[in-house]
């Protein structure tokens, strides 16, 4: 039957139908729902790993053991998993191995716009790229077949608009795939120089064979037209709307690229255009083939997403016909105030950042909801680079300060009281712990604040090693953050409630001044968890309110100014009561 599935749901369905046995992933927008949906199927082993490197290694192990295995991640996750990827490309597979990587052009929820196709190029692994949910399912199945036929990991590359768009998919039954027999094969699976040299030869031969496969994985539309367009993925859907009369060569495999099919297509058209998001990956290849008249990035930016209107504007110079307001309307579209994402009402991070912003600290940040601590009114976070970096960067900042002070013989004049790292519980498990080990090992003195909200928040509530639950919500052994920090040698470890702001501030001050490594675990669950119930909302008693505006400094979206009065939006307030600590006049009361 036909179902309206997210691209991510369709990939899960495709893997299920392809008989996948083992799936290990780390959540990351826009890839998270794939593994969440796999967990709904019986007969598939499925887990959240602590990070993408571990996840891919689990999948590689499962593949070597003979099972069909899959591993899903966002684009930056592939950087973490690059180490196993580049060598798994040499070992090849036993059971089919599919790595789903979700790129995020436009950075809806990411810190950069890297293009996974270049990782694949460097690692010598094939890449399939679907353009809607139906193709997500079909190409996932195909990826398992290619993986086993060509003895290679296969990357299924999607982008946000494919991952998070729903379209109709014909679903079918699961193929019961038997585990491949396991045979000890040291020359294939033990990558020491002698073996790897031989496998590198195999890898190059394999890429040549895969090119033949790529030549078959094409779709030709409107052959005979003067303008020819080469495209793939979501760009194909945009091209279909913009260029109704052009010839289209749609590629399902984007690495290796089908040289023969491209040459034939190029010679059949008068002008040739490549429409692709991000980098000119296909265009560069076409040019390398000696097809000098190809055009692409001459018109289209490598920044952000393409769209129907962006393509029309760039290629034809045509603006869309939109609803507009007249000059006399008294309001214009540009009057709409920006609405950036904010910490939710009741968010435990709010207490932390309100405290930190009042302390003249340098705050080394990390990836999660709490990156919003960089925004007004807190403007607390100084740097955010990648998963786990907060801890190691804080160490680098501290060492830099000390080294430079020693060299100049003068104290730093940056007016800071110290440096702290802030990192979520899941991110700490992902790659924060290694930074903490570095601090202890190399005699650092940084203070690390672990924001333990009992869940992986940003990606929509996934379990992690600290929560005591598996992806299927089964009970499991939770990692004890206190014992873990102590075990690596941190002597000063304390658990604090970020909603007791006075005490929390004192704790931060004390740890910064301690002169040795310290960990503060700021413990309070995410306000969106169903188990969290603060009861009735709070209200501002207008008789007691002196209109000082102190409550507004918390940056809670539920508190607003109406004329000269301060009010609380009861449809947003969750009743956490943090704002009551801000009011010196006791004007904020439980409703």
Partner 1 sequence: MENLNILIVGVGGQGTLLASKFLGAAASLMGKDVKVSEVHGMSQRGGSVVTCVKMGDQVASPIIDLGEADIILSFEAVEALRWLPYMKPTGTIITNTQEINPMPVISGQAVYPEDVLGKMKKDGISMVAFDALSVAESCGTVKCVNIVLLGVLAALLPEIGEEIWKQALESVVPAKLLAVNEKAFQEGLALGKKKGETL
- DSSP conformational letter for 177: P
Our CB check for partner 1 shows the closer of 187 and 329 to be 329
> Binding mask 121-160 vs partner 1 (x if CB under 8 A, - otherwise)?
-----------x----------------------------
Task: Give min distance, CB of 474 to partner 1, in A.
Answer: 22
Q: Locate 224 and state its tokens.
A: 């005979």
Under a CB-based contact definition with an 8 Å cutoff, are residues 164 and 8 in contact?
yes
Under a CB-based contact definition with an 8 Å cutoff, are residues 578 and 499 in contact?
yes
Residue 321: which H helix or E strand, with range? Answer: none
Residue 115: which H helix or E strand, with range? Answer: none
164 binds partner 1 (CB under 8 A): yes
Our CB check for partner 1 shows the closer of 346 and 418 to be 346
**Which of 13, 24, 25, 29 touches partner 1 (CB under 8 A)?**
29
Q: Single out the residue of 153, 136, 130 nearest to residue 63, CA to CA.
A: 153
Our CB check for partner 1 shows the closer of 74 and 206 to be 74
Task: Give min distance, CB of 108 to partner 1, in A.
Answer: 6
**Which of 2, 40, 197, 590 touches partner 1 (CB under 8 A)?**
2
Task: Give min distance, CB of 32 to partner 1, in A.
Answer: 7
Q: Locate 240 and state its tokens.
A: 């279909």
**Which of 247, 393, 458, 519 touches partner 1 (CB under 8 A)?**
458
Q: Candidates 41-49, 237-245, 291-299, 481-489 — which segment interacts with partner 1 by CB under 8 A?
A: 237-245
Which residues are bridge partners to 383 per DSSP?
364
Burial class, 359, CB count within 10 angstroms (exposed 0-12 / middle 13-18 / buried 19+): middle
Which SS3 state, helix, strand or coil, does residue 566 take? strand
Task: Give min distance, CB of 317 to partner 1, in A.
Answer: 15
Our CB check for partner 1 shows the closer of 210 and 526 to be 526
Q: Candidates 162-170, 193-201, 352-360, 391-399 — which segment interacts with partner 1 by CB under 8 A?
A: 162-170
Q: How far apart (Å, rounded) are the C-alpha atoms in residues 569 and 283?
A: 52
487 binds partner 1 (CB under 8 A): no
Q: How far apart (Å, rounded) are the C-alpha atoms in residues 8 and 6?
A: 5
- DSSP conformational letter for 542: T
Q: How far apart (Å, rounded) are the C-alpha atoms in residues 481 and 484?
A: 5
- By CB under 8 A, what part of segment 567-586 binds partner 1? 569, 571-572
**Which of 118, 316, 560, 585 touches partner 1 (CB under 8 A)?**
560
- What is the chain's Cα-based Rg? 27
Task: Give min distance, CB of 481 to partner 1, in A.
Answer: 24
Our CB check for partner 1 shows the closer of 168 and 223 to be 168
The answer for residues whose C-beta is within 8 angstroms of residue 226's C-beta and 6 or more apart is 269, 270, 271
Residue 237 has a CB neighbour count (10 Å cut-off) of 17
Kindly report the three-state secondary structure assignment for every residue of 467-524. CCECCCCCECCCCCHHHHHHHCCCCEEEEECCCCHHHHHHHHHHHHHCCCCEEEEEEC
**Where does 27-107 have alpha helices with state H?**
32-38, 52-65, 75-80, 82-91
Our CB check for partner 1 shows the closer of 333 and 400 to be 333
**Residue indicated by tokens 């019986």:** 42
Task: Give min distance, CB of 23 to partner 1, in A.
Answer: 19
Our CB check for partner 1 shows the closer of 285 and 300 to be 300
Our CB check for partner 1 shows the closer of 14 and 345 to be 345
482 binds partner 1 (CB under 8 A): no
Burial class, 164, CB count within 10 angstroms (exposed 0-12 / middle 13-18 / buried 19+): middle
Q: Locate 455 and state its tokens.
A: 């869940």
**Which of 42, 270, 335, 413 touches partner 1 (CB under 8 A)?**
335
**Number of Cα atoms under 13 Å in the Cβ half of residue 34:** 38
- By CB under 8 A, what part of segment 372-431 binds partner 1? 372, 375-377
Task: Give min distance, CB of 579 to partner 1, in A.
Answer: 12
Our CB check for partner 1 shows the closer of 489 and 549 to be 549
**Which of 64, 451, 520, 559 touches partner 1 (CB under 8 A)?**
559
- By CB under 8 A, what part of segment 300-329 binds partner 1? 307-309, 320-326, 328-329
In DSSP notation, 139-152 reads HHHHHHHHHHHHTS
Q: What is the largest CA-CA distance in the chain?
A: 82
Q: How far apart (Å, rounded) are the C-alpha atoms in residues 34 and 72?
A: 7
Under a CB-based contact definition with an 8 Å cutoff, are residues 277 and 105 in contact?
yes
Under a CB-based contact definition with an 8 Å cutoff, are residues 246 and 227 in contact?
yes
Task: Give min distance, CB of 556 to partner 1, in A.
Answer: 8
Our CB check for partner 1 shows the closer of 165 and 481 to be 165
Task: Give min distance, CB of 575 to partner 1, in A.
Answer: 14
- By CB under 8 A, what part of segment 239-258 binds partner 1? 240-241
> Binding mask 191-230 vs partner 1 (x if CB under 8 A, - otherwise)?
----------------------------------------
Q: Under rule CB under 8 A, how many of the chain's residues touch partner 1?
A: 64
**Binding interface with partner 1 (CB under 8 A):** 2, 4, 6, 29-30, 32-33, 108-109, 132, 161, 164-168, 234, 237-238, 240-241, 307-309, 320-326, 328-331, 333, 335-344, 369, 372, 375-377, 458-460, 552, 555-557, 559-561, 569, 571-572
């Amino acid at each position: 039957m036909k179902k309206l599935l997210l691209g991510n749901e369709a990939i899960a369905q495709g893997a299920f139908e392809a008989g996948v046995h083992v799936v290990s992933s780390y959540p990351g927008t826009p890839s998270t729902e794939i593994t969440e949906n796999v967990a709904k199927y019986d007969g598939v082993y499925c887990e959240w790993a602590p990070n993408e490197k571990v996840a891919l290694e689990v999948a590689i192990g499962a593949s070597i053991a003979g099972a069909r295995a899959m591993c899903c991640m966002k684009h930056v996750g592939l950087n973490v998993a690059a180490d196993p990827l580049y060598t798994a490309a040499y070992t090849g597979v036993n059971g089919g191995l599919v790595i789903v990587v979700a790129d995020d052009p436009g950075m809806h929820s990411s810190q950069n716009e890297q293009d996974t196709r270049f990782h694949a190029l460097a690692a010598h692994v094939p890449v399939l790229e679907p353009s809607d949910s139906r193709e997500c399912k079909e190409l996932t199945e195909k990826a398992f077949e290619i993986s086993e036929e060509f003895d290679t990991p296969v990357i299924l590359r999607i982008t946000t608009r494919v991952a998070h768009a729903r379209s109709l998919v014909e679903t079918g039954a699961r193929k019961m795939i038997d585990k491949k027999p396991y045979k000890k094969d040291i020359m294939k699976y033990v990558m020491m120089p002698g073996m790897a040299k031989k496998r590198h030869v195999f890898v190059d031969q394999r890429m040549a064979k895969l090119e033949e496969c790529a030549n078959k994985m094409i779709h030709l539309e409107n052959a005979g037209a003067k303008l020819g367009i080469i495209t793939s993925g979501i760009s194909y859907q945009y091209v279909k709307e913009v260029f109704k009369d052009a010839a289209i060569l749609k590629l399902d495999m984007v690495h290796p690229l089908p040289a023969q099919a491209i040459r034939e297509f190029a010679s059949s058209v008068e002008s040739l255009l490549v429409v692709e998001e991000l980098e000119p990956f296909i265009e560069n290849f076409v040019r390398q083939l000696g097809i000098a008249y190809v055009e692409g990035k001459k018109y289209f930016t490598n920044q952000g997403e393409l769209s129907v209107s962006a393509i029309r504007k760039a290629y034809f110079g045509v603006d869309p016909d939109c609803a507009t307001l007249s000059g006399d309307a008294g309001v214009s579209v540009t009057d709409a105030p920006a609405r950036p994402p904010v910490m939710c009402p009741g968010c435990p991070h709010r207490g932390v950042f309100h405290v930190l912003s009042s302390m003249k600290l340098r705050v080394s940040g990390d990836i999660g909801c709490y990156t919003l601590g960089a925004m007004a009114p807190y403007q607390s976070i100084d740097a955010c680079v990648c998963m786990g970096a907060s801890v190691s960067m804080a160490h680098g900042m501290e060492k830099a300060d000390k080294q430079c002070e020693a060299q100049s013989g003068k104290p730093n004049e940056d007016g800071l009281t110290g440096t702290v790292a802030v990192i979520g519980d899941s991110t700490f498990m992902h790659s924060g712990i290694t930074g903490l080990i570095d601090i202890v090992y190399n005699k650092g003195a940084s203070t690390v604040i672990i924001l333990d909200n009992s869940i992986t928040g940003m990606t929509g509530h996934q379990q992690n090693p600290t929560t005591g639950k598996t992806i299927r919500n089964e009970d499991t052994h939770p990692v004890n953050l206190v014992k873990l920090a102590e075990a690596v040698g941190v002597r000063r470890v304390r658990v604090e409630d970020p909603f007791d702001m006075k005490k929390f501030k004192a704790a931060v001050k004390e740890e910064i001044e301690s002169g040795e490594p310290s960990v503060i675990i700021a413990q309070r669950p995410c306000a969106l968890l169903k188990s969290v119930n603060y009861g009735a909302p709070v209200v501002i008693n207008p008789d007691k309110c002196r209109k000082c505006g102190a409550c507004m400094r918390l940056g809670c979206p539920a508190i607003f100014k109406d004329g000269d009065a301060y009010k609380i939006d009861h449809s947003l307030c969750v009743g956490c009561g943090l704002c009551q600590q801000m009011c010196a006049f006791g004007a904020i009361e439980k409703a």
